[in-house]
Amino acid sequence: MIEIASVSKFYNQKRALDGVDLTIQSGRIFGLIGPNGAGKTTLIRILNQIIEPSAGHVRIGGVPLNNGHVKTFGYLPEERGLYREMKVLDHLVFLARIRGLSKSDALKASNFWLDKFEINPWSAKRIDSLSKGMAQKVQFIGTVLHDPNVIILDEPLSGFDPLNIQLILQEIKAMKKAGKTVIFSTHNMNSVDEICDEVGLVNQGKLVAHDHVSALREKHKTGAFKVRYKGNQIAFANALWTGFELIQTEELGEHWFQSVIKSRHGEVFSDVYQTLSTAVELQLLEEQLPGMQDIFLELVTNHSHE
């Protein structure tokens, strides 16, 4: 478990982080989100001991963060860097060795991951001869090849095509399955929806929200339902009457519609079903929970206006 307690960071009187309190459970995928300049990278650098906090502290399993912990981290920074003139395999072996692996283990791990990502034929090529996507894969491998317990990924999906995004997301899920803790910072909210267990939203140096993804979605739901039905449109509208607001309707065919309605008084799924099932033939009824994209926009906008 990673405990971040009252962590603040100032750069020449400019506040980058302001009293952040956060607990990240082991074996989970934690999404660290926030707009640009919110302080995510500063927090990540503090976790990696690249910089020290101006105040507060970080504990791992109850022990103050130290070099021993950081050795078990894998870190993929947002601003990627590779020794472009090095060969792929040499680069990976070098990274593995500065993370404490012996030469033979480094070589073994590098080859394992190169095979896994199907880029072993490029192992003897110079990095500056690789495509962007290929170089991104090399960077990802460099982050995980020493089998870290905590993997900190800052925008790991940028630069990847949809196929490779899925590949990376699958790897992240596999790491969770293997008991690793993943801290995943991204602007790609779909991926947060897809893989994160918990989310922390940082804005202007403060932690604005921290919860399970499902809890956040529940908390920010708007009472909207999607309904697909066959029948009379007027009967449908009459059934809604005072309890619901009709947001939009789309005609799918003859007497066949799909609408979005919103409850006025906090009605739940069963209330909606009871109200509409007698008026029309229901084909689909689902509560529309907000995506992380919507929650992000709402939280950031609200916090910025406070």
Partner 1 sequence: MNKSVLIAFRELKERIGNRSFKLMLFIGPLLIVSMIYLLLESGNQGVTSMKVLISDPTNLFENKIAARTREGVTYYFYEDYIEFDAFKNSPKFQEFDALIELNEKVLINKKVFLFHREEPNLQLKMKLKFEIERRMEEVLIEQFTSLEVDEFRKIKQPLNIDFRNVDDPYSQADNGVAWIGYFLGYIMIFFIAIFGTNITKSINREKMNRISEVILASVKSRELMLGKIFGNLLASFLQLFAWIVFVGLGLWVLQSLIIPELFTPEHLTGVQISDQQLKDLGMQTMTQENMPMDLVFHRVNYWWLIPNFILFFLGTYWIFASFFTIMGAMSGDESDGQQFLVPIWILLSLTIFAGYNTLSYPDSGLTTFFSFFPWTSGMVSMIKVTVGVTLTQYLGILFAWIIQVSVGSLFIVLAARIFQHGILSYSHRFSLSLFFSWLRK
What are the residues binding partner 1 (CB under 8 A)? 12, 45, 48-51, 70-71, 73, 75-77, 79-86, 90, 94-95, 97-99, 139, 142
Q: How far is the CB of 92 from partner 1 (least distance, A)?
A: 12
The 181-185 sheet, strands edge to edge: 73-76, 150-154, 181-185, 29-33, 198-203, 206-212
- Specify whether the CB–CB gap between 117 and 147 falls below 8 A: no
Q: Whole-angstrom Cα distance, residue 150 to residue 176? A: 10
Rounded Cα gap, residues 259 and 228, in angstroms: 6
- Which is closer to partner 1, CB of 103 or CB of 264? 103
| Whether 75 contacts 44, CB under 8 Å | yes
**Token digits for 250?**
């789309």
Handedness of CA 295, 300, 305, 306 (dihedral sign): positive
* Concatenated DSSP letters of 78-97: SS----TTSBHHHHHHHHHH
Please state the closest distance from residue 96 (CB atom) to partner 1, in A: 10
Residue 169 CB, shortest distance to partner 1, in Å, is: 22
Q: What CA–CA distance (Å, rounded) separates 26 from 1? A: 5
| Strand spans (E) along the chain | 2-11, 14-24, 29-33, 55-60, 63-64, 73-76, 150-154, 181-185, 198-203, 206-212, 224-230, 244-253, 256-263, 281-288
Q: How far is the CB of 97 from partner 1 (least distance, A)?
A: 5
Query: What is the amino acid identity at position 140?
Result: F
CB of 215 to partner 1, least distance (A): 32
Residue with Cβ nearer partner 1 (94 or 273)? 94
Contacting residues for 42 by C-beta, under 8 A, at least 6 apart:
9, 16, 17, 51
Least Å distance between CB 48 and partner 1? 4
- Bridge partners (DSSP) of residue 4 are 22, 58
Min CB(293)–partner 1 separation in Å: 28
Q: Closer CB to partner 1, residue 142 or residue 290?
A: 142
Question: Closer CB to partner 1, residue 48 or residue 204?
Answer: 48
79: nearest Cα among 29, 40, 51: 40
- Least Cα distance to 226 among 257, 196, 259 occurs for 259
The residue among 86 and 246 lying less far from partner 1, judged by its C-beta, is 86
Minimum CB–partner distance for residue 139 and partner 1 (Å): 8
By C-beta, is 90 or 193 nearer to partner 1? 90
72 vs 293, which CB is nearer to partner 1? 72
Q: Which is nearer to partner 1, 106 or 299 (CB)?
A: 106
